[in-house]
Amino acid sequence: QVKYEYLMPEYTPTEGNLQARKEFQDMKFGMFIHWGVYSVLGDGEWVMYQQKIKLDTYKKLPKFFDPEDFDADEWVKIAKAAGMKYITITSRHHDSFSMFDTDATDYDIIDATRFDRDPLKELAEACKKEGIKLNFYYSLLDWARDDYKNGKKGDEEAWGDYVKFMKAQLTELLTNYGEIGCIWFDGHWDRKKANWNYDELYSLIHELSPNTLIANNHHIQPIPGEDIQTFERDLPGENKGGYSAGVEISPLPLESCATMAKTWGFDLNDTKFKTTKQLVHFLVKAAGKNGNLLLNVGPMPNGEIQPEFVSTLKEMGEWATKYGESIYGTRGGVIKTQDWGTITKKENTLYVHVLDAPTEPYIFIPELMEKIKSVSSFDGATKIKFKQVKEGIFLYPASLDDESIDTIFKMEIR
Ligand code: FHN
């Protein structure tokens, strides 16, 4: 692995950046959107690569992309109703197609489709109106550009051109769309051993917009200059998705990203939808590990989010409306995730989330040494018996409903 510590200048985040990190951690739940011309084929965002479609053929796709039902207000409404506080959308994915109005290439939504609207602009306006933070995903890897291809083979000049191209686009993304919460890089793994010129990319971003957070889904330890550590299809530190072997949790704000079925981009055959219960559990466990959940939708080629996703998101939102107090603004890392669930914390309150009822008639919370004042049901109406011992705490609720998504108890600490 490249030793980025030596390549990168020392990075001291500004006060505003540190505040933005805190606000990011408080938000807990965001909507990831993978949308591009690939949606026309309904076979995920990797369709060009996986179906071995030649570039010239793939480049005909934008002509079929005319998402006339796209309504940014509707997307923001869906995200908000789900309890999501921010949106991270693909501005350009690996297929190289820019989903925004850019002067750096003609291979973009304005020049290459008949749609002639800038969805990122419309989304930025809709987000601003509704108080939702907007973030941009940006692919480092590119399947179409010659400068990328030649640069990868060692042509320094071509690589320089590619870096210039990325800088021009990042400048547009950070100047034409109002305040952007985060630039979310992806695709690093395609050139694991290369110098990606992060010193130039990161300093450009932080110079243009110091409060914009930088995330890079590179599946390695954070590189100096980054503000968020990401985990793909994984809870922080677990490596169940297989992407982050050996990656340790850093002190940066953490974010897990996940799909609602299997793929990120719209896929007609992808019908193994995760249930509301599974997704709420993921959100709660992420919070318990001090991380956010960035949950993905892949809108259809007509511009709408598919109804199966919309209804699950609505149910998640109903849950969040009732129990959001135990998620938003909390911090995790209080205990290791247990078979029964986890804990989130806000000031003097610990929220015990029982996701899967234990077979024993009690809940044992190990490693918790804080002095407990009282334990109650989530609504505070019922006092819960408890016993604090050297090894942890026993809770004795009268009953535990395994059918419920999450039985929450509140513990007040001294
Ligand atoms: O290849 C991409 C994939 O299409 C998707 O964008 C995900 C999102 O985390 N990231 C990459 C794989 O690491």
Domain boundaries, the chain: 4-326, 341-413
Query: Nearest 5°: CA angle at 309, between 305 and 315?
Result: 130
Query: Any idea which of 118-127, 169-178, 233-242 has the lowest mean pLDDT?
Result: 233-242
Cα torsion angle, 262, 268, 269, 275, sign: positive
Ligand 1 contact via 234 beta carbon (within 6 Å): no
Ligand 1 mean position, distance from CA 295 (Å): 13
Beta strand pairing call for 349-354 and 133-139: unpaired
DSSP string, 391-402: TEEEEE-S---T
Ligand 1 contact via 48 beta carbon (within 6 Å): no
Which atom belonging to ligand 1 lies closest to the Cα atom of 219? Answer: 13
Which of the listed residues 186, 228, 297 should we mutate to test ligand 1's pocket, taking the one with most ligand atoms within 8 A of CB?
186
Ligand 1 mean position, distance from CA 403 (Å): 34
pLDDT at 1: 62
3-state helix, strand, coil split of the chain in percent (to 5) is 35, 20, 45
Ligand 1 mean position, distance from CA 186 (Å): 7
Helices (H), 84-118: 109-112
- Helices 72-81 & 119-130, crossing angle to 10 degrees? 40
Token couple for 169: 């686009």
What is the tens place of the pLDDT at every residue in 276-303? 999 999 999 999 999 999 999 999 999 9
**Distance from the first to the final alpha carbon of the chain:** 46
pLDDT at 242: 84
Q: Report the amino acid identity of residue 319.
A: W
Nearest CA to ligand 1 atom 1: 187
Between residues 260 and 9, the one the model is more confident about:
260
pLDDT at 407: 96
Nearest CA to ligand 1 atom 3: 264
Ligand 1 mean position, distance from CA 240 (Å): 16
The helix (H) or strand (E) run that includes residue 63 is none
Ligand 1 mean position, distance from CA 41 (Å): 18
> 399 burial class (0-12, 13-18, 19+ CB within 10 angstroms)?
exposed
Q: What fold characterizes domain 341-413?
A: Immunoglobulin-like (2.60.40)
Distance CA 336, CA 314 (A): 30
Judge whether residue 402 has pLDDT over 80. Answer: no
Beta strands in 312-403 (DSSP E): 341-346, 349-354, 363-366, 372-377, 385-389, 392-396
Which atom belonging to ligand 1 lies closest to the Cα atom of 139? Answer: 6
Ligand 1 contact via 264 beta carbon (within 6 Å): yes
SS3 309: helix
Q: Is 51 left (phi over 0), alpha (psi -120 to 50) or beta?
A: alpha
Range 4-326: architecture per CATH = Alpha-Beta Barrel (3.20)
Ligand 1 contact via 257 beta carbon (within 6 Å): yes
Nearest CA to ligand 1 atom 5: 264
Beta strands in 266-359 (DSSP E): 291-297, 341-346, 349-354
pLDDT-derived band at 66, boundaries 50, 70, 90: very high
CB contact set of 351 (below 8 Å; sequence gap of 6+): 325, 326, 330, 343, 344, 345, 378, 408, 409, 410, 411
What is the tens place of the pLDDT at every residue in 97-145? 999 999 999 999 999 999 989 999 999 999 999 999 999 999 999 999 9
Which of the listed residues 143, 264, 267, 270 should we mutate to test ligand 1's pocket, taking the one with most ligand atoms within 8 A of CB?
264
Which atom belonging to ligand 1 lies closest to the Cα atom of 137? Answer: 6
pLDDT-derived band at 58, boundaries 50, 70, 90: very high
Token couple for 210: 């110091």
Which atom belonging to ligand 1 lies closest to the Cα atom of 257? Answer: 9
Phi first, then psi: what are they for 276, rounded to 5°? -60, -40
ipTM: 0.99
Nearest CA to ligand 1 atom 10: 186
Token pair 């719209």 is found at 266
Mean pLDDT of the chain: 96
Ligand 1 mean position, distance from CA 264 (Å): 7
What's the whole-number mean pLDDT along residues 370-386? Answer: 96
pLDDT-derived band at 246, boundaries 50, 70, 90: confident
Which atom belonging to ligand 1 lies closest to the Cα atom of 189? Answer: 13
Cα torsion angle, 43, 45, 48, 51, sign: negative
